[in-house]
Amino acid sequence: MKCLFVRPPFAGWIVDGVKTIEYRSKASNIRGRVGIIQSMSGTVIGDVEIIGCNWNEKIQRYEWNLANARRYKHPLAFQQKSGAVVWIGVDYDSNVQEVAPALSAAAMKQEKAAYEKEIAIFLDSSRIYDGGDVNVK
């Protein structure tokens, strides 16, 4: 299965279904289920379906649309090859992985609030200069 490297905490938010858009500088023609590797951990922590890819003109990034996320009850260790930074093929069957229980409503609300704070910071820092006022930080 193809697996995508994602930094924490975003990897966790993806497999918990909180983050449904992945912003990238390059488009993806890959569709279907892909594993999510939490960067620097050496583990596949879950999987998600890539269902589409759109260009966001406002922030000059591609939006990879994600759905049907699953966090694995037992993360799957793998041996990372030198040079792999975005995608890697990992030999496993996602259909036999035991899926962890979904987040409680309270935990989902807390994670969603943290995610929305992070995405607001990202969108604010990614604004394209349109000739209007510029806030210097």
pLDDT tens readout for residues 77-120: 877 666 656 666 676 665 556 666 667 778 778 877 877 777 67
Q: How high is the pLDDT of residue 110? A: 80
* CATH topology for the 2-125 domain: 2.30.130
Q: Where are the domains of the chain?
A: 2-125
pLDDT digits (tens, 9 = 90+) for 4-39: 999 999 999 999 999 999 999 999 999 999 999 998
58 touches 84 (CB < 8 A): no
pTM of the predicted protein model: 0.72
Angle at 33 between CA 8 and CA 60, to 5 degrees: 60
